[in-house]
Structure 1
């Protein structure tokens, strides 16, 4: 499901699990009643499965499947599996529904899927009448967290090794683009953005956050040269320290996310 297919580290990703899960719960709060009884739900890009389990809590009679292409993430997700909750290996770049869903949901995954706008018609075709497609993605590629990474990756020392590996600036589209695409596909659509002010604790917590997600492609690009990898991380850390300075109560990471809830005509 990725642009560069980074190697995921579930333990690192889950170090900020509470902050990362909050947008998903905010997204689910806007999902309307589902048409099926019991409903069929798919989680596209389920990661370690901790938020997929929230779907089973919200709709306890539903049959829920989480899809992901990372073996390490799926290995962690297996701990959440149950009689009505399972996890399947799938690449969202090629995945298409083979059955009818009442809800397809995606949490912080579509920005890793090149051309995901073109996948929307096929995914919506897999929804039952009155079914919903809901997703959220980071909408902060202009924030220092990412801008400094791209800036550093474009310097002479790193350009040939890192720059092309980083997530491109067009991996997330403007909110109006998603609204227009989903509405033209016949869905009643709600799109919005929210900026969270995450208060992080510990030493270099913004770097620690990035190591779980956005920094993964750079770490992979330099994986065969541990010395260079450490040097890049150190330079990036120093830039982050200037951009995100600690306060007596922690380090504040402003983080904007884009949400969309699109519901098919029930007729």
Structure 2
């Protein structure tokens, strides 16, 4: 089982849609106006399409295509958001290349699933119209307890045979300055930064509920054919998370670092 091919659950992912959308809206505030008439936009790793739809709010005349390789996510996106100038299509971000000039290529919390994703940057930048923009955000929390505890449990004697190579490690994404260097070398003016959000989560075991929609998907996929083993792993992981993220009087604080970059190709 590969960490790059998890099975996705749109309903689980969208349970924390408000918190998950915040970084994308912050990214959009730094994207300059687009020159195309109408603009052409690609959203790589569009998921359930809820943030892709925000692109049509920002650029109402744009032709927007959301790309994803999850049939479950694409089905949800098409059912809830497709229409007018917004459409969704199947594609693998590891091999996708623009089929013509784009004014904006954007990606929200996807590139961490693509090993060596910086090697794809050249094709994407070359697929921009002059003055076009490539923008993305990725989680930068792979050294946070939510990930560290998951990896430690997967590497423990009980699980390491079944889960070897399933999870991503702390080199899944780069630091902002490394992205800045890569993109500047490709002839772009680059704005790169990082932000740590402190999400206040509600409910019982809310951090577990969060990661069930994202980081835990490879484990849940690898153990899908053995519900007893899957539930046993989740129970052990839940216990560790309760210690790492104790609830406070108003909810459970969940720090989450994210890395952003906006690269504008030379006109």
Query: 2:193 is matched with which residue?
Result: 192
Query: 1:122 is matched with which residue?
Result: 123
User: Counterpart of 1:164 in 2: which secondary structure?
Assistant: coil
Query: 2:91 is matched with which residue?
Result: 90
Confirm or deny: 8 A CA contact 2:67 2:89 kept in the other structure: yes
Would the alpha carbon gap of residues 3 and 95 (structure 1) be closer, same or farther in structure 2, given more than 3 Å must change? farther
1:3 positional shift: 4.3
User: Within 5 Å, which residues of 2 pair with 1:1-267?
Assistant: 3-78=3-78, 79-266=80-267
Q: Name the CA distance, whole Å, in 2 between partners of 1:89 and 1:107.
A: 16
Q: Name the CA distance, whole Å, in 1 between partners of 2:59 and 2:171.
A: 34
Q: Name the CA distance, whole Å, in 1 between partners of 2:253 and 2:97.
A: 39
Q: Name the CA distance, whole Å, in 2 between partners of 1:255 and 1:32.
A: 26
Q: Name the CA distance, whole Å, in 1 between partners of 2:242 and 2:222.
A: 23
Q: Name the CA distance, whole Å, in 1 between partners of 2:31 and 2:48.
A: 22
**TM-score, normalization by structure 2:** 0.98
Q: Name the CA distance, whole Å, in 2 between partners of 1:235 and 1:162.
A: 15
1:187 positional shift: 0.3
**TM-score, normalization by structure 1:** 0.98
Moved more, 218-227 or 20-29: 218-227
Confirm or deny: 8 A CA contact 2:46 2:66 kept in the other structure: yes
1:169 positional shift: 2.2
Q: Name the CA distance, whole Å, in 2 between partners of 1:95 and 1:68.
A: 10
- Runs of 4+ in structure 1 off by over 4 angstroms are none
Q: How big is each residue's C-alpha offset from its partner over 1:68-121, in whole Å with a ceiling of 9 and x where there is no partner?
A: 000000000002011100000000111111111000000000000122110000
Q: Name the CA distance, whole Å, in 2 between partners of 1:184 and 1:175.
A: 14
Q: How big is each residue's C-alpha offset from its partner over 1:17-36, in whole Å with a ceiling of 9 and x where there is no partner?
A: 00000000000000011121
User: Counterpart of 2:104 in 1: which secondary structure?
Assistant: strand
Q: Name the CA distance, whole Å, in 2 between partners of 1:155 and 1:176.
A: 34
1:175 positional shift: 1.6
Confirm or deny: 8 A CA contact 1:3 1:114 kept in the other structure: no
Confirm or deny: 8 A CA contact 1:44 1:105 kept in the other structure: yes
